[in-house]
A and B are shown apart, each in its own frame.
Chain A
Amino acid sequence: MSALLIMAGGAAVSPLVFQLAIFVMAIFVGYYVVWSVTPALHTPLMAVTNAISSVIIVGALIAVAAGVKGGSGISTWAGFAAVALCAVNIFGGFLVTQRMLAMYKKKAK
């Protein structure tokens, strides 16, 4: 993303400040969304936040791409290991959440 495209009152804003603004807004979104989660689903909440925090796989894939294009070998293998770890979390986290949520049933009338 080009820094020069983000303007405030005619002056360029550094991407860091722009990202920080998004970060702060997201904390507020998280705050309100999580307070509305019913306590009965706090365990699935932890499992699913765990699965989505594995979106850090984005960084792992960039590391693999960088490593194999002639970057450091450390990048390739650290990236590969991180991709595998994140994949365990993504598949394990979402599937176990699905399994838990499928068990919550209403009273059969």
Chain B
Amino acid sequence: MPQLSADLAAVLYTVSAVLFILALRGLSSPETSRRGNTFGMIGIAIAIVTTLLVAGMNGMGFILSAAGLALGGVIGAIIAKKIPMTDMPQLVAAFHSLVGLAAVLVAIAAFFSPSDFGILSEGRIKAGSLLELGLGAVIGAITFSGSVIAFAKLNGNMSGAPIMLPARHLINIALGLGIAVLIAMLMKSGGTEHWIIWALLGAAFLIGFLLIIPIGGADMPVVVSMLNSYSGWAAAALGFTLGNLALIIVGALVGSSGAILSYIMCKAMNRSFISVILGGFGADAGASDSGDKEQRPVKRGSAEDAAFIMKNASKVIIVPGYGLAVAQAQHAVREMADALKEAGVDVVYAIHPVAGRMPGHMNVLLAEANVPYDEVFELEDINSEFANTDVAFVIGANDVTNPAAKTDPQSPIAGMPILDVDKASTVLFVKRSLSPGYAGIDNDLFYRDNTMMLLSDAKKMVEEIIKSL
């Protein structure tokens, strides 16, 4: 078998790390992103080939590795080809769980074959290596079980509502302390006591599970970003165990990427990261004020009314939310926009950072429906435009337009940056019912004179509007 020198291998791993940085750099604009993705693929290919050549594989090893790559590769390629774009949040959650599980498996393998991983000294595993390995295993396990729950919630296998265990903070603190004690014991044992690693993994799987179940559906953008970050830190910890530069650098890149996304999502909701992670948001607020809200009069409209108003407008801003994804209405919305443009109406889109179930969710759906990305604007770029807009067409969004965020300091969403749709001359709300949004609070906008409610399924309503245009 050909053998690479360790130095040459380290150089090649550095090359692949540079390619990964370029892959992320490419995402600064859609034009450069496709080339960036190709760099990423080359980077991972270099890392795999280098490892095959430097690990001292024998024939059996090659066969097993190739079989694993082929098996996983075929499954991955089929999933990537078949998955509908609306299912992207749960796909990403599922992929995170796989990275977490792979990290756990690598940590276990290193624990049981320490000499081959170069972490053995005088018959015992070095304490530092056990710390890295233990951290990698714990973070990997939390990523795995947390992502499985996130997947189940996003995929609808589990209710999106927060599940609140009594004394859950106490249980989590106890588990966290238990994990710290087990890692210390692991380091002291020198890897001779096998039960410790299994106990450690069990505790970590459990805490990952308990951390995510109290978090509700609309907080998922933060959770998915956070798990993204964790998968990076797990990779980095194992990179130290293996002394592998590519793994250390990738771990740092992915870890900071996920952390930044979590920060952006929290800021877009004006909530602290801690309050999101502690969970339970919106669980009880909905029940308390549901009594009196139906009494206030709302103006309901039909598809014909909406079509008439928009046709006679000069500027329409479409505000999509999670309801658009649920109703799969993105293609219908684009057709409606095309019909309006033909009638001479200026149509653009406004996207709130936390619209949907993951960062950038709405942008991908609109791109899928062939909406050009230069017609899609972020909150800070378009918010001043609402004042000179005739119609704000809100479809499947609610809390991100609620003026209570600005006017009511007691509101659960107080201080959250919102899209100023109330400044538009007319607001059209496509919604299935008058029920409050995720935060469980009533939206004052529904009852204003210049608001018309279009109560129906989003896709059906848009299709009827197209017919009337």
Which A positions have Cβ atoms within 8 angstroms of B? Answer: 1, 15-16, 19, 22-24, 26-27, 29-31, 33-69, 71-72, 74-76, 78-108
- Name which residue of chain A comes closest to B228, CB basis: A46
Q: Is B468 interfacial (CB 8 A cutoff)?
A: no
| 17 sample A-B contacts, Cβ–Cβ < 8 Å, listed by A number | A22-B245, A29-B253, A30-B257, A41-B30, A46-B261, A49-B228, A50-B99, A50-B228, A54-B99, A64-B57, A65-B65, A88-B95, A90-B73, A92-B91, A94-B41, A94-B44, A96-B79
| Contact across chains for A19 and B44 when beta carbons are under 8 A apart | no
Contacts of A100 in B (CB 8 A): 85, 88, 364, 367
Contact of B109 among A49, A78, A96, A105 (CB under 8 A): A78
With both beta carbons as reference points, the residue of chain A lying nearest to B71 in the complex is identified as A84
A53 close to B244 (CB less than 8 A)? no
Which of A1, A34, A65, A67 interacts with B56 by CB under 8 Å?
A65
CA distance A26 to B102 in the complex (A): 22
Known: A48-B23, A99-B80. Contact between A108 and B372, CB under 8 A? yes
CB distance from B79 to the nearest CB of A (A): 5
How many chain B residues have a CB neighbour from A under 8 Å?
121
Q: A57-B44, A88-B72 are in contact. List 18 more A-B contacts (CB 8 A).
A: A19-B245, A22-B248, A46-B258, A47-B88, A47-B92, A49-B254, A53-B235, A55-B16, A55-B250, A56-B235, A66-B113, A75-B116, A86-B72, A88-B98, A89-B98, A92-B91, A99-B81, A105-B373
Tell me which of A56, A64, A85, A101 contacts B34 (CB under 8 A). A101
Interface string of B92-120 (1 = CB under 8 A from A): 10011011011101101110110111000
Contact of A106 with B27 at beta-carbon distance under 8 Å, contacts A26-B248, A92-B76 already known? no
Tell me, yes or no, whether B376 is within 8 Å of chain A by CB.
yes
What is the interface of chain B mostly: helix, strand, loop, or mixed? helix
**Bitwise interface map of B from 47 to 79 toward A, beta carbon under 8 Å scored 1, else 0:** 110011001111011001101111111111101
Q: Which residues of A contact B113 (CB under 8 A)?
A: 63, 66-67, 71-72, 74-75
Instruction: Using CB atoms, name the residue of chain B closest to A91.
Output: B76
User: Quick check: is B436 within 8 A (CB to CB) of the other chain?
Assistant: no
Q: Which 9 A-B pairs have the closest CB atoms?
A: A87-B72, A66-B116, A42-B360, A92-B76, A83-B68, A91-B76, A63-B109, A26-B252, A42-B359
* A61, B52: Cβ atoms closer than 8 Å: yes
A40 B21 Cβ-Cβ under 8 A: no
Contact A39 B353 (CB under 8 A): yes
